[in-house]
Amino acid sequence: MRSCFGRATAVLLFSCSPAYADVVAKAPDGMTIRIVAEAPIDGDAAWARLVDVATLWGSSHSYSGDAKSLSLDARAGGCWCEIWAGGEVEHGRVALVMPKQMLRVAGAFGPLQDLGVSAAMTFTLADGATAGTTRLTLDYKAVGSLLSGLDQLAPLVDQVLVEQVKRFVAVT
C-alpha cells in the first residue's frame, strides 16, 4: 500500500487573537496538522501549563466529560491517561520529553483510537517574538490504511486541537 502520509496538512498560525482552522490538504490514509501560537507567558510557565493536561485539555473532548480526570506523567513511557468512576482510557504514551522544549506523545486520540491508526502529537516550545512570551507549535501526525478515512476526519481533529491551543494561549 502506497502511503500518502505527509501530503495531508492542516496549518494554522495565530496569536492571542481568535483564529480559525483551515485544512489545506488531506489524504485518506494520513494527515498532518500544525498549529502555531504565541502565549503571553515565559518558558517555565508554558512548560508547566503544557504538562498540566487537566488545564490544557477541554472537558468536552474527554471520555469522562471532566478534564480533571486527565493526567500526564511527563516522562518517557509515561501515560496521558483519563481515569473516572465509569472507566479508564490511555490517550497516549509519552515518547519524548525535553523539559521546556519538547513533548511528544504517541497515540491516536479520540475517535482515531478505534481506527487502528498510528499517531504522534508533538508540542514544541520556543521563545516568542517578544520577551516573556512563548511560541507553541503543535504537530499532530496520523497514518492508517486507505480505509481509515483520515481525510474526512482531518478538519474535525484540527478544530479540536485548535480549541486546546486557544486554551493554552488564554492564560488566566
CATH code of 27's domain: 3.30.530.20
Tell me what the mean pLDDT of segment 7-21 comes to: 40
Tell me what the mean pLDDT of segment 107-127 comes to: 94
Q: Is residue 38 part of a domain?
A: yes
Please report the pLDDT score of residue 107 as a whole number.
97
Tell me what the mean pLDDT of segment 123-146 comes to: 93
Cα 149 vs. chain centroid, distance in angstroms? 19
> Between β-strands 102-106 and 9-14, what pairing exists: parallel, antiparallel or unpaired?
unpaired
Q: Is residue 156 part of a domain?
A: yes
CA angle 20, 21, 25 (to 5 degrees): 150
Q: Which has the minimum average pLDDT: 12-16, 94-98, 131-135?
A: 12-16
Q: Which has the minimum average pLDDT: 3-17, 52-66, 85-99, 150-164?
A: 3-17
Domain total in the chain: 1
- pLDDT-derived band at 26 (thresholds 50, 70, 90) equals low
Q: With 90 as the cut, is the pLDDT of residue 148 above it?
A: no
Please report the pLDDT score of residue 129 as a whole number.
93
Q: With 80 as the cut, is the pLDDT of residue 88 above it?
A: yes
| Structural domain boundaries, residue 105 | 9-48+96-169
Tell me what the mean pLDDT of segment 66-89 comes to: 97
Name the grid cell of 53: 493536561
Q: Is residue 119 part of a domain?
A: yes
- The CA distances from residue 132 to 13, 45, 124, 125, in Å, are 19, 10, 16, 13
Please report the pLDDT score of residue 2 as a whole number.
35
160-164, Cβ contacts within 8 angstroms, sequence gap of 24 or more: 160/61, 160/110, 161/33, 161/35, 162/12, 162/19, 162/20, 162/21, 162/35, 163/58, 163/61, 164/56, 164/57, 164/58, 164/61, 164/138
Q: Is residue 132 part of a domain?
A: yes
116 vs 95 pLDDT, higher one: 95
Closest CA to 37 of 141, 163, 131: 163
Which residue type, as a one-letter code, is found at position 57? W
Q: Is residue 77 part of a domain?
A: no
